[in-house]
Amino acid sequence: MKTPLTYKDAGVDIEAADRLVDSLKPLARTTLRKEVLAGIGGFGSLVSIDRERFPDPLLVASTDGVGTKLRIAFELDRHETVGIDLVAMSVNDVLVLGAEPLFFLDYFATGRLRPDTAIRVLSGIVEGCRMAGCSLVGGETAEMPSFYADGEYDLAGFCVGVVNRDRVIDGKDVVPGDRLVGLFSSGLHSNGFSLVRKIFCPERGFSLQSPVKGSGIPLGEELLKPTRIYVRPVLALLEKVPVKAIVHVTGGGLTGNIPRVLPPEVQAVLDLGSWPVPDVFRWIEEEGSLPVSEMLGTFNYGIGMVLILGKEHVENATAFLSMIEVEAKVIGEVRRRPKEQAAVVW
């Protein structure tokens, strides 16, 4: 007689996943906005729109992951902050259009569910949602035996925000003479890690315990600094100062992302000496023998978000950001773009 098999025998523990969801529910409830009518646990989530605040609403959607930064978390067994990264990557993208993040969903996939690891990751997602002021309304925990190496997982996040039609920020009004205000990053954020891991590999005498030149911070600790979430300060600034364009500096760095919001007839001219470049970027540059063009096209280089606004509003903008303790500098200006020149020069 054949021995009967169960789904658990095949490597999928549904009961463990259910217990994980039950333990997450109280945490997720701490993120819920008044617009949420039904959150985690059902087949879908119900979310309304505040029509008093948004009489002519547009929804803005974004999705992203954390990339190979997760490998650092695996190697150090430190999983508390990658959930913040996951939220940051999507809510900052939604913010670019002037939208307020409304709700967030996550996808957590692993070969074998380790509840202790999963709850650390998911607690970070909850913290990220709190920081962004958006609701965690659902997600998916997928246990996929033999698909992922033991102890590894992947993450994806999905965010929907809302903006009134007349408040959309799209860059179409950017003109020569406008200024670029850079908001400082917390570090690498979530991009460029494949190159960093290639530079600081064991074969070249490095480990995640190697001190970063200049700061002395262990490399692994530096790399796991969570991506900065700019939602609250930028939304507050938008109530004070008109902003023409917003850039979230992600994959492709400054030179890859700034052109995405510029009209074709203008270019951004960066003043590379105008902001302090964190030690970790200088070290990457030195150890990898990377030209400035590669640094600017791969990393945020110390600037995680760029605001483009009329020069007459710069003083008020920087004063307000300073008042709310957000580090920012004027990092360049917009000029007319000569033929055959790049959209970003320095």
Residue 274 burial (CB count, 10 A): 13
Residue 89 burial (CB count, 10 A): 28
Instruction: Provide the 3-class DSSP secondary structure of residue 93.
Output: helix
Better-scored residue on pLDDT, 38 or 222? 222
Helix 115-132 and helix 14-29, axial crossing angle in degrees, nearest 10: 30
Percent of the chain with pLDDT over 70: 98
CATH of domain 14-167: 3.30.1330.10
| pLDDT at residue 9, as a whole number | 65
Please return the burial class of 9, using the count of CB atoms within 10 Å of its CB with bins 0-12, 13-18 and 19+: exposed
Domain boundaries, the chain: 14-167, 179-345
Q: For the domain with range 179-345, which CATH number is right: 3.30.1360.120, 2.60.120.590, 3.40.50.720, 3.90.650.10? A: 3.90.650.10
Residues 6+ apart with CB under 8 A from 140: 105, 106, 107, 108, 109
> Is residue 161 a contact partner of residue 59, using CB atoms and an 8 Å limit?
yes
pTM over 0.75: yes
Kindly report, residue by residue over 149-173, the tens digit of the pLDDT.
999 999 999 999 999 999 999 999 9
CA-based nearest residue to 136, from 113, 102, 92, 162: 102
Mean pLDDT of 204-228: 98
Residue 196 burial (CB count, 10 A): 24
Residue with tokens 């492709």: 252
| pLDDT at residue 13, as a whole number | 76
Q: Is the pLDDT of residue 5 over 70?
A: no
Q: Is the pLDDT of residue 75 over 70?
A: yes
How many CA atoms are closer than 13 Å to the CA of 172, on its beta-carbon side?
A: 5
Rounded Cα distance, 243 and 68, in Å: 33
Beta strands in the chain, from DSSP E residues, in sequence order: 36-38, 46-47, 57-65, 100-110, 135-143, 153-164, 179-184, 245-248, 266-270, 303-309, 328-336, 344-345
| pLDDT at residue 243, as a whole number | 99
How many CA atoms are closer than 13 Å to the CA of 202, on its beta-carbon side?
A: 1
| pLDDT at residue 12, as a whole number | 73
| pLDDT at residue 1, as a whole number | 66
Tell me the residue type at 134: C
Radius of gyration of the chain (CA): 22
